Amino acid sequence: MLSKSAARRFFLVGTALCFGAFLLLTVDTLGRIPEQTNQQELSESAIRGKHLWDRSNCMGCHTLLGEGAYYAPELTRVYSRRGPVFIEAMLRDPEAMYPGRRRMWQYDFSDQERQDLIAFFAWIDRMDLNGFPAEPNLLQVAGADGLGDAASRYPLTFQQICVACHKLEGQGGVVGPALDGVADRMTPETLRKHLKDPKSVKPDSLMPQLPLDDATIEELVAFLSTLKASSTGGAR
């Protein structure tokens, strides 16, 4: 059993060592922040997006960097997971993206405000957070005809946007119909029209008109045109 003087020395030395370790770790952390957060890339647009995030109380529903509520999706890696086109469309009209399924408030952000929030999400997405959260699990294609080994993954836009509502090979959303064998049901021209303006093909379509540029539409048409029943294991 320690004497009073020995216990006092043990306490003082232990406290001093722990405090010193805390100071060293603090200095080390502060030194890492600029590089790990890409501080030099923090644009004026991203700063405005951060202020808009705070003013709109987005953390009342969403989690960012491990802080916030768990009512709505976690958004630390939303830029990689969904991409700027999906984010912009979701911010513009949440109900149109998920009719009858989403409860996100319609904020009526201006075009500039939406771009500022996207810039903020893009900056957050590039942070080095020591593996938190895990990288988005973008889906793999089992082998659609004609893509070749160099393009064995779904096109990025398909992974970020289309699978949010549609299933392919049993993976993806359930809002829209599964896309297995879609090339047997739609010609490339019909697919192209559907992607540009869904209601021009099906007036009662729930699919929103996404702000896709012509190059992205052509990439998606080329990919979807390979999805025949024989290449995806049959329509589900």
Q: CA 69, CA 67: separation in Å to the nearest integer?
A: 7
Q: In this structure, are residues 112 and 67 in contact, taking their beta carbons and an 8 Å threshold? A: no
Helix (H) or strand (E) run with residue 160 in it: helix 156-160
Residue range(s) of every CATH 1.10.760.10 domain in the chain? 43-125, 149-232
Predicted TM-score (pTM) above 0.75:
no
Cα 82 from chain centroid (whole Å): 4
Reported as a single tens digit per residue, the pLDDT across 133-168 is 777 766 654 433 333 333 446 888 998 899 888 999
CATH architecture of 43-125: Orthogonal Bundle (1.10)
Q: What CATH number belongs to 149-232?
A: 1.10.760.10
Reported as a single tens digit per residue, the pLDDT across 9-48 is 889 999 999 999 999 988 887 777 777 778 888 899 999 9
